[in-house]
Amino acid sequence: MKRVVIGVTGGIAAYKVCDVVSLLYQRGFDVTVIMTRAAQKFVTPFTFQTLSHRKVYTDLFDEGSYDPSHIYLADHADLLLIAPATADVIAKMAVGIADDLLTTCVLALKAPVMIAPSMNDNMWNHPTVRTNLAALGSRGAMCVAPDVGYLACDRVGAGRLPAPEVIVAAVEKFLGPGEGRKFAEGQKG
């Protein structure tokens, strides 16, 4: 089964990534979610745990585990998808900051990285963000470009996270289709 580790960062579009996780799960991918501290202000780990059917990782210093999570998760991934990717995580990745579980995992990773940035249009067009994105692109990171459309700051512009189906299609284009899952019709038991 193809393994997708999804890094969820603290953008308002984090709620859309619930659907990305569910769709990938339904299509037969093994999905494991890492959340930043800011992401947990928008969506709870419990939501992702339920949708992915897996433990959600939030803490670099997990005292309940002797196996460092950032190494386990990095070794576990066929693809690391970061969605939504904040301006902050893009900047950290561009310079190699590793101050939480997700960014430390990024440095320990051999698998490819795909980012789906999402932010206010002025942030998206900021020269620093553009420079950081170019740096990631030059190192092979794939990017699902944001749409132009309604933004949560109540204006229209570039920076809107694409629909979940678009992000899932980008993952499947890269990894190939999932194995699918069979679900019983009607009630369990």
Ligand X SMILES: Cc1cc2nc3c(=O)[nH]c(=O)nc-3n(C[C@H](O)[C@H](O)[C@H](O)COP(=O)(O)O)c2cc1C
Q: Which residues bind ligand X (CB under 6 A)?
A: 9-13, 36, 38-39, 86-89, 118-119, 123
Query: CB-wise, 106 or 175, nearer to ligand X?
Result: 106
**List of residues 6+ apart from 136 with CB closer than 8 A:** 90, 93, 94, 113, 115, 143
The single residue of 18, 105, 143, 153 carrying the catalytic annotation is: 153
**How far is residue 69's CA from residue 137's CA, in Å, rounded to a whole number?**
26
Of the pair 42, 72, the CB lying nearest ligand X is at 42
Please, which residue, 32 or 118, has the CB nearer to ligand X?
Answer: 118
Q: Is 143 a catalytic residue?
A: no
Rounded-to-integer distance, Cα 124 and Cα 4, Å: 26
Q: How far apart are CA 161 and CA 59, in angstroms?
A: 25
Closest alpha carbon to 118 in 20, 47, 28: 20
The distance of closest approach from Cβ of residue 81 to ligand X in the complex, given in angstroms and rounded to an integer, is: 15
Q: Which C-beta is closer to ligand X: that of 78 or that of 121? A: 121
CA distance between the termini of the chain: 26
Instruction: Give least dist CB 88 to ligand X, A.
Output: 4
Rounded to the nearest whole angstrom, what is the least distance from the CB of residue 107 to ligand X in the complex?
15
Supply the minimum distance, in Å, between the C-beta of residue 101 and ligand X. 10
CA-closest candidate to residue 8, choices 99, 83, 80: 83
What residues act catalytically?
153
